[in-house]
Amino acid sequence: MDPPDLPQVEDLVSVLRSGRAPIEVRQFAARGALPLDAADQFRALLVVLTDPDPAVAATARATFGSLPPDAIIRSLASPEVTEAELDAVARGTDDGEVLERVVQHRNVSDATLAALARTVTGTPQEVLIVNQARLLRNPSLIDALFENPGLSADGRRMLNELKEEFFEKEARRQGARSRRRENPPEPEALPAAEEVPAGEIEEDDEEEERPGKEGAPASPPAPDQEASRGNEELYLRLMGMTVPERVKLALTGTREERRFLIADASKMVGCAVLRARGLTPSEVEGFCGMRHLDADIFLKIASARAWIRRPLIAIALVKNPKVPLTISLPLVKRLGLRDLRSIARDRNLPEAVRVQARKIYLQRRR
């Protein structure tokens, strides 16, 4: 059957969205048979997924269900995808990778995320939980996640930490400030100042202002002293910040600040570092070599496809004896012969890693 007389091709999706498209056009859209490029064909199909005609909607759902997940993911890569289209995709699939892209898309609505929060599991749920900026902007998403019967134990713990740090503690701080305003403390009497002879004061002032020998300025500190002092100042500044402030800094701060914050006692801060703007693979490789990080940080790095595909990151994880075996052992098979030989001889690594490296090395040498 040939397509009926159609409006201009560039107007087809708009006509479908307006609800004025004739039944024949909707039927062709439901079958994916309109004369459009792949992106517009997909968008037209999403429109008729909820067509008022049950037969058209059923055909559209069947067509959508036959699409490979990779094709849907490619279609979602466009920044022009609308809230309604993302919602239609979320309602029409249960594929984890597709739902992960929906959750990550900048145009996804809070209503769509709330619906997913109540049902989604696995990686999409984890991606939603670690998007702390979105959760803090709309706390009802946290409540929706708690309603999910499939909420993981790790997810529940992170959400409880989020509520404690960002809402409950802040409410207590505001209450304390309000009580102090209502009942200001009595001013304390100042102790009497000791009398100091005027000559001593003048001598002290002169001593403070006196330059170095022969009037030369004090010599600048050595570069390593400057770096040490800078690190100490940064550490003290971070220690004086609240968890919400450190999370914000982890997302927007500098490379040096991220190096400190990745090992923060709050896992929320460390997870925020891994989502920071400007985070580079070389930084992630450096994190993989740190021996004082929480195991969850290593797990999140190993779970990110974009990072774990990089050989240097995989090698760094395997060579770190503090990385759990559940993470390092599967990575051994990714390594080259030279790295396998080096790991098999490294007595600082767990015996299981060395044995696995030696076994794979000998198999490949045959």
pLDDT confidence of residue 224:
55
CA distance readout (Å), 262 to 133, 157, 283, 328, 359: 18, 19, 10, 20, 34
Kindly report, residue by residue over 322-341, the tens digit of the pLDDT.
999 999 999 999 999 999 99
Nearest to 71 by CA among 41, 113, 51: 41
The half-sphere exposure of 343 on its side-chain side, counting CA atoms within 13 A, is: 33
* Six-digit token string for 208: 């403070």
pLDDT tier for residue 288 given thresholds of 50, 70 and 90: very high
pLDDT at 245: 85
Q: Considering the chain, what is the average pLDDT of its residues?
A: 81
What whole-number distance in Å separates Cα of residue 133 and Cα of residue 272?
10
Q: Is the pLDDT of residue 79 over 50?
A: yes
Q: Are 124 and 96 in contact (CB under 8 A)?
A: yes
Interval 208-234: pLDDT, tens: 444 444 444 444 445 555 555 667 788
Q: What is the DSSP letter of 80?
A: T
What's the confidence (pLDDT) of residue 168? 62
In this prediction, residue 180 has a pLDDT band, given cuts at 50, 70 and 90, of: low
